[in-house]
């Protein structure tokens, strides 16, 4: 690897010194390793939780995986939702089929553990890039990996059964390879274009063929920069290689059409519906949607900081410092900024603009933050520490309130030490004002850990149905109200053996019209409301999708009323007698 770094220095014409001010002593390395271990513990904790921080799409993908596995075939994909079958390429669903042994080990942990592996591999790539960029500074590499894991977007989308973890890994791997073996990777006519095309093809098979556009724009910009904007060199030496990379990537993606028995359905549902449909707009015009509204480019700009979460102000400081010191930027830093900007510009084009589209370049953002980490103002880290402390304190207050309202010790013994440590760390940092930077990432991770520990109580007895209720529901149809597509899929984990079906939450007080006499129905009521007649059993659940008024009332202290509810399992005849 040192030879690679030597080639980089010779190629760029200068010796990179981006983060030579980051200490790389034995103590700093030990501290960085401890923070990384804390990140691993944080990501592993609650992996099988019913209330993991994630996205509603997880249950949609889970249902497609289960239905496809039940069919006994790799393709075509199957689903219980006729309009949600070919919603994504098959790699994610094949991954879920293998990790659950074709549905025989149908648990959340079985579905999710591969996502964790992809996320940790992406963190490894970020660490290696930072290590190379900083002249083999091991502390900088460890910091980049922990920073990436400290981003809210990584914690939220990097653990559930979603396309984001493998997609981020494969996309960033393309650019990792180009950076690591530069300049040979840029001048190669066949070897590296073939390798990058193969990697990009796997990225496309994970998410969409549309991913080729940001990857292609970034690679094109990189090649133009490397040949110093010599268009003759670019057109005759670089374009053929880029074209071969694109053709190979699309060829790998096209295997889905070749192997599937119904390619017409893929075209209609995935190409037209899922991808071209993202160009449609409810606004009066495309320009109006771009400049105003929830999905405007200005809101998209906030995606960087929403992805960073508690580390938003250090990211803002990084952007400011990078602009101020742009004349001192190394070749690697410039290429990483080009990568981030390319993805941002490309995803400004669709009318559906979301910060999730920027997840693939968050490993690069972590490296860029490391480069300027020691140059940031203390106030940037102070905001992170205060926010982490506030979250941990709020969790502690909620825990105490819930413990007083319930009988017995509902929390695990380790919950309270986690809360104490999560609150103490930012407080200790305030007395060590000269070293605020070292506390930012661990405080962020501790805030995540405290939240995960709090919601973990709803994965225990109070958040699950009793064995007697599970036995009663076995082999019977259970109707579950849904406030999102396939949300009822989660009830299959709670009522194994039941034939779970979803229905619109608007009918939650009378149930679906096509209920049979022997069916069961889940009814959601406020936490303190009395048990309805005929109730078989219940469990406590966290509510979601709050209105603005409910969020405001939550902030005023009405936690029990809006944060918790109770699910009651009733016979079909009982729910028909309940007034709306």
Residue 253 and residue 125 share a domain: yes
Name, in order, each residue with C-beta under 8 angstroms of 13's C-beta and a sequence gap of 6 or more.
Answer: none
Q: What are phi and psi for residue 409, nearest 5 degrees? A: -90, 100
Both 447 and 479 in a single domain?
A: no
Closest Cα partner for 238 from 252, 250, 228, 249? 228
Q: What H or E segment, with its residue span, contains residue 537?
A: strand 537-542
Q: What is the pLDDT of residue 455?
A: 86
398 pLDDT exceeds 90? Answer: no
The pLDDT assigned to 7 comes to 43
pLDDT of residue 546: 56
- CATH number, domain of 524, equals 3.40.190
Cα separation, 366 vs 467, whole angstroms: 46
Co-location of 185 and 274 in the same domain: yes
CA-based nearest residue to 521, from 506, 509, 539? 509
Among the listed ranges 20-34, 62-76, 107-121, which one has the minimum average pLDDT value? 20-34
pLDDT at 66: 94
Give the pLDDT confidence score for residue 545 in this predicted structure.
63
Count structural domains, the chain: 3
Clarify whether residues 393 and 334 are in a common domain: no
Residue where one domain finishes, among candidates 356, 375, 394: 375
355 burial via Cβ count (<10 Å: 0-12, 13-18, 19+): buried
Confidence band (pLDDT; 50, 70, 90) for 139? very high
Tokens of 118: 């992809």
Q: Quick one: 130 and 259 in the same domain?
A: yes
Q: Where in the sequence is the domain holding 437, given as residue range(s)? A: 378-459
State whether 413 and 497 are in the same domain: no
Contacts of 205 (CB under 8 A, 6+ apart): 89, 90, 91, 252, 253, 255, 256
**Residues 19 and 154 grouped into a single domain:** yes
Question: Which pLDDT value is given to residue 229?
Answer: 93
Q: Are 370 and 35 in contact (CB under 8 A)?
A: no
Instruction: Tell me the pLDDT band of 5, cut-offs 50, 70 and 90.
Output: very low
Most confident of 73-77, 394-398, 500-504: 73-77
- The helix/strand/coil state of 460 is coil
Burial of 473 (0-12, 13-18, 19+ CB in 10 A): buried
Query: How far is residue 471 from each of residues 87, 208, 460, 476, 517, measured CA to CA in Å?
Result: 34, 42, 18, 10, 18
Spatial distance between the Cα atoms of 575 and 522, rounded to a whole number of angstroms = 9
User: What pLDDT does residue 17 have?
Assistant: 41
Out of 444, 459, 474, a domain closes at 459
| Averaged pLDDT, 110-129 | 97
Q: What percent of the chain has pLDDT over 70?
A: 88
pLDDT band, residue 3 (cuts 50/70/90): very low
For the chain, helix, strand, coil in percent to 5 are 65, 5, 30
The string of pLDDT tens digits covering residues 426-466 is 999 988 888 899 999 999 999 999 999 988 888 877 788 88
455 and 474 housed in the same domain: no
Same-domain pairing of 34 and 16: yes
3-state secondary structure of 361: helix
What would you report as the CA-atom Rg of the chain, rounded to the nearest whole angstrom?
Answer: 25
What pLDDT, on a 0 to 100 scale, did the predictor assign at position 365? 98
Q: Taking a C-beta distance cutoff of 8 angstroms, is the pair 524, 481 a contact?
A: yes
Paired strand residues for 481 = 503
Beta bridge partners of 480: 502
* 515 and 562 housed in the same domain: yes
pLDDT exceeds cutoff 60 at 540: yes
What confidence score (pLDDT) does residue 10 get? Answer: 42
Can you give the pLDDT at residue 1? 44
| Domain match, 397 and 521 both | no
pLDDT in tens, 256-276: 999 999 999 999 989 988 888
Q: Is the pLDDT of residue 578 over 60?
A: no
Structure tokens that stand for 507 in this block: 């009918």
CB-based contact 96:212 (threshold 8 Å): no
Q: Which two tokens stand for residue 61?
A: 């993908």
Q: Which residues contact 123 (CB under 8 A, 6 or more apart)?
A: 39, 145, 146, 148, 149, 154, 363
Q: What is the mean pLDDT of residues 283-302?
A: 75
Whole-number average pLDDT of the chain: 87
Residue 224 tokens, joined: 């133009």
Q: DSSP character for 360?
A: G
Q: Is the same domain home to 474 and 354?
A: no
Instruction: Among 257-261, 424-428, 483-487, 569-573, name the one with the lowest average pLDDT.
Output: 483-487
Check: CB of residue 149 under 8 Å from CB of residue 142.
no
User: What would the mean pLDDT of 371-382 be, rounded to a whole number?
Assistant: 93
Of the listed ranges 130-134, 293-297, 459-463, 549-553, the least confidently predicted one is 549-553
Domain boundary among 434, 459, 484: 459
- For the chain, give the longest Cα–Cα distance: 81
Give the tens place of pLDDT for each residue, 494-515: 888 888 888 876 555 566 777 8
Q: What is the pLDDT of residues 154-191, one digit of tens each?
A: 999 999 999 999 999 999 999 999 999 999 999 999 99
Buried b (16+ CB within 10 A) or exposed e, 436-462: bbbbbbbbbbbbbbbbbbbbbbbbeeb
Q: Where are the beta strands (DSSP E) in 392-498?
A: 477-482
User: 326-352: buried (b, 16+ CB within 10 Å) or exposed (e) per residue?
Assistant: eeebbbbbebbbbbbebbbebbeebbe
- For the stretch 13-26, pLDDT in tens is 344 444 457 888 89
- CA-nearest of 400, 399, 524 to 452 is 399
Q: Is the pTM value of this prediction over 0.95? A: no
Give the span between the Cα atoms of 167 and 95, in whole angstroms: 13
pLDDT more than 90, % of the chain: 60
66-71 mean pLDDT: 94
């Amino acid at each position: 690897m040192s030879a690679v770094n030597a080639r980089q220095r010779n190629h760029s014409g200068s010796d990179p010194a981006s983060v030579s001010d980051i200490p790389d002593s034995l103590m700093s390395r030990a501290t960085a390793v401890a923070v990384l271990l804390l990140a691993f513990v944080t990501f592993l904790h609650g992996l099988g939780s019913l209330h993991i921080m994630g996205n509603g799409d997880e249950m949609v993908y889970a249902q497609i995986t289960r239905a496809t596995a039940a069919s006994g075939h790799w393709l075509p994909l199957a689903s219980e939702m006729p309009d949600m079958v070919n919603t994504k390429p098959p790699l994610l669903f094949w991954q879920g089929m293998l990790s659950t042994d074709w549905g025989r080990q149908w648990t959340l942990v079985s579905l999710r553990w591969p996502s964790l592996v992809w996320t940790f591999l992406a963190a490894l790539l970020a660490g290696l890039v930072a290590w190379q960029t900083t002249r083999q500074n091991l502390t900088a590499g460890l910091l980049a990996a922990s920073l990436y894991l400290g981003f809210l977007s990584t914690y939220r989308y990097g653990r559930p059964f979603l396309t984001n973890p493998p997609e981020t890994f494969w996309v960033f791997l393309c650019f990792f390879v180009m950076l690591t073996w530069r300049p040979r990777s840029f001048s190669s006519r066949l070897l590296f274009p073939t390798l990058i095309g193969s990697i990009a093809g796997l990225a496309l098979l994970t998410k969409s063929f549309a991913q080729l556009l940001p990857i292609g724009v970034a690679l094109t910009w990189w090649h133009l920069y490397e040949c110093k904007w010599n268009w003759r060199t670019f057109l005759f030496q670089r374009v053929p290689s880029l074209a071969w990379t694109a053709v190979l990537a699309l060829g790998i993606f096209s295997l889905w059409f070749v192997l599937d028995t119904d390619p017409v359905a893929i075209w209609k549902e995935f190409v037209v519906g899922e991808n071209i449909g993202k160009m449609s707009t409810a606004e009066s015009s495309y320009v109006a949607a771009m400049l105003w509204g929830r999905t405007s480019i200005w809101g998209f700009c906030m995606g960087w900081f929403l992805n960073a979460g508690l580390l938003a102000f250090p990211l803002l400081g990084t952007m400011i410092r990078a602009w101020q010191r742009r004349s001192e930027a190394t070749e690697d830093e410039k290429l990483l900024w080009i990568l981030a900007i390319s993805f941002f510009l490309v995803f400004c084009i669709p009318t559906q603009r979301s910060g999730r589209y920027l997840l693939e370049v968050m490993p690069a953002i972590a490296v860029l933050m490391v480069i300027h980490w020691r140059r940031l103002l203390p106030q940037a880290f102070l905001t992170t520490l205060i926010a982490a402390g506030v979250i941990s304190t709020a969790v502690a207050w909620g825990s105490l309130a819930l413990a007083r309202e319930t009988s017995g010790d509902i929390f695990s013994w380790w919950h309270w030490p986690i809360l104490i440590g999560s609150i103490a760390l930012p407080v200790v940092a305030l007395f060590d004002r000269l070293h605020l930077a070292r506390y930012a990432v661990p405080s962020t991770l501790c805030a995540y850990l405290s939240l995960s520990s709090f919601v973990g109580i709803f994965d225990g007895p109070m958040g699950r149905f009793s064995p007697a209720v599970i036995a009663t529901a076995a082999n019977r149809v259970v109707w579950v109200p849904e406030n999102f597509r396939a949300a009822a899929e989660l009830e299959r984990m709670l009522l194994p053996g039941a034939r779970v079906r979803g229905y619109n939450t608007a009918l939650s007080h009378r149930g679906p019209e096509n209920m049979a006499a022997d069916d069961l129905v889940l009814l959601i009521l406020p936490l303190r409301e009395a048990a309805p007649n005929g109730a078989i059993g219940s469990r406590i659940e966290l509510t979601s999708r709050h209105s603005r008024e409910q969020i405001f009332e939550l902030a005023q202290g009405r936690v029990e009323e809006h944060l918790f509810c109770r699910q009651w399992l009733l016979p079909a005849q009982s729910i028909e007698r309940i007034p709306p």
